[in-house]
Copies of this chain bind each other. A is one copy, B any other.
Amino acid sequence: MKDYHFSATLPQDARNIIEKILKEYLSLKTETISVYKAHGKFAAKDYLSLNTSPPTDVAAMDGYAINAEQTFNTTDANPAIIENFKVVQTGESIEGFDAVVPFEEAQVENGRIKIFQSYYPRQNVRSKGEDVQKEQLLIKKGDLLTIFDKVYLKAGGYLEVEVYKMPKVAFLPTGEELVDIVEKEGQLVEFNSVIFNDLLQRYGFEVGIFKPVENNLKKLTEKIKELLQEFDIVFVNAGSSKGDKDLTVEAISALGEVLVHGIAIKPGKPTIIGKVENKLVIGLPGFPVSMFFVLREIFLRPFFKTYNLNPKEKSIFATLERRLSSDIGSEEYVRVSIKNIDGKNVAKVLKRGASVISSLKRADGYVTVPINVDLIEEGSLIEVKLI
């Protein structure tokens, strides 16, 4: 029988190892694409506005451009009669005037307008540069482009944007019990690839999903070798713990080097970081929840750091509903749902089993309990990273 005890690498050490390999061996190419298609891509350079928008002071609605001074002290009982005005459409320059009276707030009489209230200078006026100033920084290099970033880019004068081309990543499930459709006893549906695919595609990675390879060292080794021809990073799932059938470590050792086997995180401990021909080969744990957290916290975090990418992840603060205990010696990711109680965000801890996909579906986010913390008291204010 094997020795099933293994010491775990500190999570920050594991991240540093990934960062080091990426920095040394994998540089990101860039590509230029239409602004319309830039959603979820990372900008590859700073973008400064080429335009000022609006280009001058303009009417904020259809109406009459006037000088506001002529209306001061105007009331219903004491209307102002104005001769010097200009009919303006929304967006038109109000040059020579300083306010706009909407059509419906004025009466026309003999080519003059009669109004019944005071206007202040700049009322119903959009100021030059209100949206965008020329030379203003629209987008920082490395920013994940959201819908409104795209609007700014186009308003600022860009039709195309240079973005990072994300690496090609392969997902290789292992185990002959894994199938797409269950046809006989003992088979299980392979569904981790769905999570992998969505999580990495969200950030623009080019994802390849492969059919499960059986638990055979030679076949696994050959398949990894084959995938490394085409892909920048290969992920193997699972076979990463220390069971008798867990061949991933042996396959990586045969091809290259195992740098990490086991990380002090929970869930997600049985994770492998290997290097083959200067490329990362990562063994992911089999449970979907574990895999999810390893991808987010152990792979993506150093990945973003390596290339100075800002994925704009959101987190909120919430009050912990009940005390939360955690093992010393593991960085723990605890799924929570957020409820609103009397205007307060209250975080409720969900079932912690690594195997249960329903707990991810119900989770709004998760709390990271540091490695040296064993208890967070009820009522503590905690940071919840949104999923």
Q: Give me the interface of A with B, judged by CB distance under 8 Å.
A: 1, 4-5, 35-36, 39, 50-51, 53-55, 60-62, 87, 89-91, 93, 102-104, 108, 126, 130-131, 147-152, 154-157, 159, 177, 180-182, 185-186, 188-191, 193-195, 197-199, 209, 238, 241-246, 286-288, 316-319, 340, 342-345, 353-358, 360-361, 381
Chain B residues closer than 8 Å to A188, beta-carbon distance: 53-55, 91
> A263 CB to closest chain B CB, in angstroms?
15
Contact B39 A148, beta carbon cutoff 8 Å: no
Q: How many copies does the complex hold?
A: 2
Contact A157 B130, beta carbon cutoff 8 Å: no
The 4 closest A-B pairs by CB, nearest first: A4-B103, A148-B361, A62-B243, A154-B191
Chain B residues closer than 8 Å to A355, beta-carbon distance: 60, 126, 130-131
Other A-B pairs, 4, CB within 8 Å; known A343-B381, A344-B344: A1-B108, A50-B182, A55-B185, A345-B345
Chain B residues closer than 8 Å to A246, beta-carbon distance: 62, 89
- Kindly state the separation between the CA atoms of A364 and B89 in the bound complex, as whole angstroms: 31
Centre residue among A182, A191, A209 by max chain B CB count within 10 A: A191
Return the chain B residue nearest A201 by Cβ.
Answer: B39
Chain B residues closer than 8 Å to A150, beta-carbon distance: 194, 198
- Given A35-B194, A147-B198, A188-B54: A357 touches B288 (CB 8 Å cut-off): no
Chain B residues closer than 8 Å to A317, beta-carbon distance: 340, 343
> A285 CB to closest chain B CB, in angstroms?
9
Contact A103 B286, beta carbon cutoff 8 Å: no
- Kindly state the separation between the CA atoms of A342 and B344 in the bound complex, as whole angstroms: 9
Return the chain B residue nearest A343 by Cβ.
Answer: B319
The residue from B157, B180, B242, B353 contacting A126, defined by CB atoms under 8 A apart = B353
Return the chain B residue nearest A1 by Cβ.
Answer: B108
- Kindly state the separation between the CA atoms of A61 and B197 in the bound complex, as whole angstroms: 25
- Given A154-B191, A159-B181, A243-B62: A343 touches B357 (CB 8 Å cut-off): no
Chain B residues closer than 8 Å to A340, beta-carbon distance: 316-317, 345
